[in-house]
């Protein structure tokens, strides 16, 4: 580096420490990857109609979460978590973790929000929780999680630790299905659909048994009811833990999820 070469030094938000840890642990999971191209034309039309006829809007991501929760509720084994070598804990409740971007000290910082029992909530309930999190006052990235999280004080302490101790904590959490569910939910949904014009899939890394990454939303020609028409497509990546589910039940789950999304379920 030249002695007088211009550069800028920025402080890394403390909340990124967890991202480093999840990346380290996530690559060790035995995830199957499914790259889906879903026709969301009907769902998007229904959302636009809903927004035009209701005072309270619903979001595309919130609707996708509702579809996911219904498919998981019908195929519960996909979000099972291993307990030891011989047991699998399969929960009835569908708890979904999402990322909400907040501005802290002039910087946009992604913070996690766990929405509980999504399978029992309406689209409006889901949207209300997301909006409440977006409006929540955050003064420091030490407020690591959004919403009414049971382990907020633990997370503040966690961020002060060196990485090898943080990794040890995560390994302990991952061995306990109930602690994992209470800490981070059983499912994670990450979305970049509204960012940029790139067309394609996102390949995430995750510690959850099942992970959804919402990639591009594009308009292009497609076959609908035997005719070629301009349709809207969502590129979605699904990670499924091969340690807890095999290919055939995973395929049935993917088929059901695709049907729910393409039929405009729940709107």
Total-model pTM: 0.87
**Number of folded domains in the chain?**
1
In a domain, 41, yes or no: yes
Angstrom distance (rounded) from CA 180 to CA 207: 10
> H-helix or E-strand containing 259?
helix 247-262
Residue ranges making up the domain that contains 31:
16-262
Question: Averaged in consecutive runs of 10 residues, what is the pLDDT profile of the chain (267 residues)?
Answer: 72 72 83 95 93 81 97 96 91 94 72 93 94 78 60 70 88 93 94 67 92 92 91 95 92 97 94
Domain-located, residue 8: no
Judge whether 113 lies within some domain. yes
**Domain assignment present for 267:** no
Q: Which residue has the tokens 């699998």?
A: 88
DSSP H helical segments within 54-176, as ranges? 60-74, 123-135, 152-158, 163-174
Confidence at residue 67, expressed as pLDDT on a 0 to 100 scale: 98
Q: Is the separation of the CB atoms in 267 and 251 below 8 Å?
A: no
Over the Cα atoms of the chain, what is R_g?
Answer: 20
Note whether residue 109 is domain-resident: yes
CB 95 within 8 Å of CB 103 = no
In DSSP terms, which residues pair with 102 in a beta bridge? 109
Does residue 10 lie within any of the structural domains? no
Q: What CATH number should be reported for the domain holding residue 221?
A: 3.30.559.10
**According to the model, what pLDDT value does residue 85 have?**
85
What per-residue confidence (pLDDT) applies to 52? 82
Q: Residue 84 has what DSSP assignment?
A: T
Domain presence at residue 218: yes
Q: What is the pLDDT of residue 86?
A: 87
**Six token digits for residue 44:** 């998007």
- Decide: residue 229, CB within 10 A, 0-12 exposed, 13-18 middle, 19+ buried: exposed
């Amino acid at each position: 580096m030249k002695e007088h070469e211009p550069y800028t030094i920025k402080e890394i938000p403390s909340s990124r420490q967890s991202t480093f840890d999840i990346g380290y642990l996530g690559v060790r999971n035995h995830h199957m990857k499914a790259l889906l191209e879903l026709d969301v034309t009907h769902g998007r039309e229904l959302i636009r109609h809903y927004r035009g006829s209701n005072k309270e809007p619903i979001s595309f991501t919130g609707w996708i979460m509702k579809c996911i929760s219904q498919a998981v509720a019908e195929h519960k084994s996909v979000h099972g978590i291993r307990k030891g070598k011989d047991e699998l804990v399969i929960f009835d409740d569908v708890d979904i973790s999402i990322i909400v971007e907040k501005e802290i000290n002039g910087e946009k910082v992604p913070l996690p929000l766990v929405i509980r029992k999504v399978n029992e909530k309406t689209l409006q309930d889901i949207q209300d929780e997301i909006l409440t999190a977006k409006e929540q006052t955050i003064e420091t990235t030490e407020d690591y999680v959004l919403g009414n999280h049971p382990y907020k004080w633990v997370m503040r302490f966690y961020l002060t630790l060196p990485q090898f101790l943080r990794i040890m904590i995560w390994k302990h959490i991952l061995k306990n299905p109930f602690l994992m569910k209470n800490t981070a939910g059983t499912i994670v949904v990450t979305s970049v659909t509204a960012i940029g014009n790139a067309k394609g899939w996102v390949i995430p890394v995750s510690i959850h048994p099942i992970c959804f990454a919402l990639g591009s939303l594009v308009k292009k020609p497609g076959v609908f009811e035997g005719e070629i028409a301009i349709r809207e497509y969502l590129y979605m990546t699904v990670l499924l833990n091969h340690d807890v589910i095999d290919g055939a039940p995973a395929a049935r789950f993917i088929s059901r999820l695709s049907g729910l999304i393409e039929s405009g379920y729940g709107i």
